Amino acid sequence: MTTPPPPPTKIGAILFPGFQLLDLCGPLDVLNILSGQRPLSLSLLAATLDPVSTQHHLHDAQGSRFSERLVPTHTFAEPPSDLEVLLIPGGTGARKEENIDDVVRFLRGYYPKLRYCLTVCTGSAILAKSGVLDGRRATSNKKAFSWVSINLICLFVLLFLPSSMIGMFD
Amino acid sequence: MTTPPPPPTKIGAILFPGFQLLDLCGPLDVLNILSGQRPLSLSLLAATLDPVSTQHHLHDAQGSRFSERLVPTHTFAEPPSDLEVLLIPGGTGARKEENIDDVVRFLRGYYPKLRYCLTVCTGSAILAKSGVLDGRRATSNKKAFSWVSINLICLFVLLFLPSSMIGMFD
């Protein structure tokens, strides 16, 4: 019998303007608790080191000033070299190309190094845009399924699953 | 019949070192969505305008670098004057006095202005320390109930409730 590899310890997560707060903070809260019991590291990646806001065009249209800003630790240009897991949140902001262009380019280059790439909700659309899902089975949030499947250029096969959170494993 | 007052629109939330990410981001994500449908404002209050980290002593003991930093919009010294709702998260960081001393002082002065003050988990202990719950019925997360009830100076009555999230209404 071969010994299974140790569980991953080097976690990354993606920030982009208009990301969905809970998509990111739900999974990270679980890992926050685990990291009080065993050594883990977290890197938060964004286009620049400026704080990234959840504000998006629907808030703007309402005149709402209701957003939270999270501080990145790394840029896409200078990421840690040894991330094992990457989490990609969804969010209304993902519906504007300019918010996720940098993310898509980063994923295209970094994806092959990862052990696991996890997406939440429309985060699957961002990953799909990078092309790494081409020819693979994947899914997304049922409520956003039409947008995800119609708007993607890549040719992956979308299947319904009951949960809006999916993991895609190499 | 009298017309009920309009629902509140000016929301505040408290940040302190070692706050529990989900305690804050769960409720705020719901309001983020609502704020795309009607005008709402959010203020994030902390001791200074420096980003506030979820890192706490259990992470430090493990050698984990696993935390998120949120950016405040106001200090306790210069808060908005017209907040209607205030959310107080819990968190392992709340177990160190130096992390919450400023919060407690702020609550003591600001609480009478609020329409609603909501606490999650051990956020109830922070509110209780301010004294505004003295002589009132209150509760907390069952798992942290002993710590909350033993360590508080004030004389409020704690009761078990099934949920770890409670609202305290004037």
CB of A55 closer than 8 Å to CB of A17: yes
Q: pTM for this one?
A: 0.89
Strands B69-70 and B52-53: antiparallel
Tell me what ipTM this predicted complex has: 0.88
Domains of chain A: 10-49+67-126 (3.40.50.880)
B115 vs chain A: nearest CA distance in angstroms? Answer: 19
Compute CA distances A148 → A17, A48, A143, B19, whole Å: 18, 26, 10, 35
CB B87 within 8 A of CB B12: yes
Are B71 and A62 a contacting pair at CB < 8 A?
no
Residues 36-65 of B with CB under 8 A from A: 36-42, 44, 51, 54, 56, 58-59, 61-65
Q: Do B68 and A25 touch (CB under 8 A)?
A: yes
Give the pLDDT confidence of B50-91 residue by residue, as tens digits.
Answer: 999 999 999 999 999 999 999 999 999 999 999 999 999 999
Q: Is A29 on the interface with B (CB under 8 A)?
A: yes
Q: What is the model's pLDDT at position B160? A: 46
Amino acid A66: pLDDT: 97
- The predicted model gives B138-152 an average pLDDT of 77
Stretches in chain A below the pLDDT threshold 50: 154-155, 160-170
Interchain pair A22, B29: CB under 8 A: yes
**pLDDT band (50, 70, 90) for residue B141:** confident
Nearest CA in chain B to A64: B39
Q: How far apart are CA B30 and CA B13, in angstroms?
A: 14
pLDDT score recorded for residue A168: 44
Alpha-carbon radius of gyration of chain B: 16
